[in-house]
Amino acid sequence: MNSTNGKKLSQTLTIANELGVHARAAAKIAKLADEACSGVFFIKDGQEVDATSVLDIMSLYCPCGTEVTVRITDTSDEKVLNSIARLIKTGFGEL
């Protein structure tokens, strides 16, 4: 986890829901990412995509058990990062 002055810039998480990151889940991530003032990125196996794009997120193919990283470019968006992390940890409300 990268940080600046104690504020987190990224979190690495494991996809917990059985269906993985499907269209509805990706849309929930993108909606939260769209609230950020700066960039939010979704990363799998070193491939980084714009987290505001449902299609970009889905292109990474993230089934249950996949490890992903969510990264923000500005510490002012830490609330967005934490919201996306909470969404992933709770299985997008599907657990």
Active site residues: 22
Q: Using an 8 Å Cβ cutoff, are 21 and 28 in contact? A: no
The pair of structure tokens assigned to 39 is 């960039």
Ramachandran assignment for 57, one of left (phi > 0), alpha (psi -120 to 50 degrees), beta (any other): alpha
Give the Cα separation of 70 and 13 in Å (integer). 8
